[in-house]
């Protein structure tokens, strides 16, 4: 009986082995293995991380025409900002703001580079340029347009980039372009940093405040609920001497005081509180006139009851501030103050 059981077990094992070897399940023909394609911005980050790690061989795989000598001489890399401006199946444009040293000499780059899709991988190309020398549109037309018929994501991106580490050039350009406001303070609103900067007429920084711009991003179209880009001016002000937290409807003080929320909480009410600085666009066809008119879109800098959301996008197009801070700004920003909104 024992020998009989052993024979049965041996035969069962043989059948299992043969079945596994002769699996008759049909295979799908023409099925390709899944290829995960990294975002172009991640490729750029990895390129610089490889240089930081002194792995130039890996860096050159991501940027084949990059010089080995330059890779070895780069040090003290600090990526201040990296943003994908355009991407399709074939090419991408990245905005890059970076500090570094070459042979111990400090360097700074603020501009564009582009990538090309090759064998299911992004490769960084050698055509890169400073945003001070070339607009986004010019860069797109030179490198991307010949490869695709698709339009750029937004023509607004051509001129509305704020260099996080060098406001002086932008301030000088604004005072030259808008001489009528050259003797006043200038407000810069950096959407990427969710920060408002207040500069004196001599370009000295007075202060900076956290803000909230549109949760839907940037854009100048009426009905978009986006924060408009470009040069503006304060055309009207409301709320002088109003109590902190005063609720305004249609720019009129209701006499009611809002309950200020310090928690990170979005409420149904989008209240306008304490002070209002009403913006008017200065760039015809971009933020002034037609369906891109910031003034007719009622774009304000104003206080909000949702102070816990300040510092991240949360508005429906306006620039929100904490109530005490918008009251402070109100004292420094009379009618005629230039306001530039960029990324």
The CA-to-CA distance between both ends of the chain, in Å, stands at 85
Mean pLDDT over 16-36 rounds to: 34
Question: 170-188: per-residue pLDDT in tens?
Answer: 999 899 889 888 789 999 9
Residue spans of the domains in the chain: they are: 40-155, 167-342
Kindly tell me if the per-residue pLDDT of 21 is higher than 50: no
Question: 31-75: per-residue pLDDT in tens?
Answer: 333 334 568 889 999 999 999 999 999 999 999 999 999 999 999
How far apart CA 228 and CA 299 sit, in angstroms, is 8
Question: 271-318: per-residue pLDDT in tens?
Answer: 999 999 999 999 888 898 888 899 999 999 999 999 999 999 999 999
In order of 67, 248, 265, 275, the CA distances from 257 in angstroms are: 63, 9, 19, 13
How many percent of the chain have pLDDT more than 70? 85
How many percent of the chain have pLDDT more than 90? 57
Other CB atoms within 10 A of residue 145 CB: 15
Looking at per-residue confidence, does 271 or 82 come out higher?
Answer: 271
Smallest CA-to-CA distance from 62 within 129, 97, 105, 113 is with 113
The distance from CA 126 to its chain's CA centroid, rounded to whole angstroms, is 23
Other CB atoms within 10 A of residue 293 CB: 19
How far apart CA 253 and CA 237 sit, in angstroms, is 12
Question: 147-173: per-residue pLDDT in tens?
Answer: 765 444 444 444 687 887 789 989 998
Which letter does DSSP use for residue 156 in this model?
G
Secondary element (H or E) of residue 158: none
How far apart CA 219 and CA 230 sit, in angstroms, is 10
Q: What is the pLDDT of residue 30?
A: 31
Q: What is the pLDDT of residue 306?
A: 96
How far apart CA 109 and CA 126 sit, in angstroms, is 14
Fold annotation for 40-155? Nuclear Transport Factor 2; Chain: A, (3.10.450)
Provide the mean pLDDT of the chain.
Answer: 84
pTM for the model = 0.59
Q: Classify domain 167-342 by CATH architecture.
A: Beta Barrel (2.40)
CB 238 within 8 A of CB 303: no
Q: Which two tokens stand for residue 315?
A: 């508005």
Of the pLDDT bands very low, low, confident and very high (cuts 50, 70, 90), residue 23 is: very low
How far apart CA 12 and CA 282 sit, in angstroms, is 85
Of the pLDDT bands very low, low, confident and very high (cuts 50, 70, 90), residue 82 is: confident
């Amino acid at each position: 009986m024992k020998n009989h059981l052993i024979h049965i077990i041996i035969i069962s094992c043989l059948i299992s082995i043969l079945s596994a070897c002769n699996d008759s399940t049909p295979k799908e023909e023409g099925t390709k293995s899944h290829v995960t394609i990294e975002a172009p911005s991640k490729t750029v980050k990895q390129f610089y991380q490889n240089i930081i790690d002194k792995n130039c061989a890996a860096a050159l795989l991501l940027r084949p025409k990059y010089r080995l000598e330059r890779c070895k001489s780069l040090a003290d890399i600090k990526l201040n900002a990296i943003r994908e401006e355009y991407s399709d199946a074939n090419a991408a444009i990245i905005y890059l703001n970076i500090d570094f040293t070459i042979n111990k000499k400090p360097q700074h780059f603020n501009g564009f580079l582009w990538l090309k899709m090759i064998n299911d991988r992004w490769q960084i190309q050698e055509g890169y340029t400073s945003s001070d020398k070339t607009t986004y549109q010019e860069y797109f037309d030179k490198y991307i347009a010949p490869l695709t018929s698709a339009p750029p994501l937004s023509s607004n991106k051509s001129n509305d980039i704020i260099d996080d580490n060098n406001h002086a050039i932008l301030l000088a350009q604004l005072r030259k372009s808008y001489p009528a406001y050259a003797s006043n303070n200038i407000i810069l609103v950096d959407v990427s940093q969710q920060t408002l900067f207040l500069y004196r007429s001599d370009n000295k920084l007075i202060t900076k405040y956290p803000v909230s711009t549109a949760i839907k991003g940037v854009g100048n179209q009426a009905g978009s609920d986006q924060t408009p880009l470009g040069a503006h001016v304060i055309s009207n002000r409301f709320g002088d001497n109003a109590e902190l937290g005063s609720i305004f409807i249609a720019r009129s003080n209701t006499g009611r005081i809002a309950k200020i929320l310090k928690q990170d909480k979005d409420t149904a009410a989008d209240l306008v509180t304490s002070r209002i600085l009403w913006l008017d666009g200065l760039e015809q066809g971009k933020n002034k006139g037609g369906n891109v008119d910031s003034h007719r879109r009622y774009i304000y800098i104003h206080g909000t009851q949702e102070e816990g959301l300040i510092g991240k996008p949360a508005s429906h197009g306006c620039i929100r501030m904490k109530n005490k801070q918008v009251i402070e700004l109100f004292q420094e920003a009379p009618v005629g103050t230039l306001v530039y909104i960029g990324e």
